[in-house]
Amino acid sequence: LAFKEHENFPGSVSVSAPRLTGATFTVDGDYQTDPGFYLNDQEYVRRPTGYFVPAGELVTLTVPDAAIGQGLTVYVGAHRKNIQETFNEFRRFPRTSTTFELDTKTVTITNPFGGGIYIAIPDGNSLGSLTFEVDGAVKAPYYCTKAGFENSLSEFMDEIAKAEQTGNSSSIICL
């Protein structure tokens, strides 16, 4: 099930864009907040993955054993807030992301709008590097400077060029 509105946001994925099988990504499974410094929504941190779920398509994640049952969640879509909780009127769908608990070895994820794949690490976790396998997703441009997870600016620019060549010129940049 794909909502037609995905064409406006976050954008359509070309049918010619390769749906990957056996692709992997690694995220930092450590997250410890400073109890003396509070920020809104610091109960967890969302780690971008560099992969995108096309609208309405099913994608399978293979979860590393160390992550199963540790309170981790996968988000599909960049906007996690349900604006219906805080606004009386709105001119878009009130919730455009979907969430799935990472409590089994494989998890099937989807979103009628499509969206980037993000792994949410709850505060207090010290799980180290976590490597996931993904089947059915599309590669999205990804750039990271975090030690141990970095890639080069030229790799990032190559990913942008490849996305544009397959008709996927819509991108979300996470800083």
Question: Do 11 and 113 form a contact (C-beta atoms < 8 A)?
Answer: no
d(CA 132, CA 80): 21
Residue 124 corresponds to which amino acid?
G
d(CA 133, CA 59): 10
Structure pTM? Answer: 0.85
Q: Please count the residues of the chain.
A: 175
Question: Do 63 and 104 form a contact (C-beta atoms < 8 A)?
Answer: yes
Q: What is the per-residue pLDDT across 58-100, written as a single tens digit (0 to 9) for each?
A: 999 999 999 999 999 999 987 766 666 776 777 777 777 899 9
Q: DSSP letters along 50-111, please? A: EEEEPTT--EEEEPPGGGTTTT-EEEESS----GGGT-S--SS-S---EEEE--SSEEEE--
Q: What is the per-residue pLDDT across 131-158, written as a single tens digit (0 to 9) for each?
A: 999 999 998 877 777 878 777 778 777 7
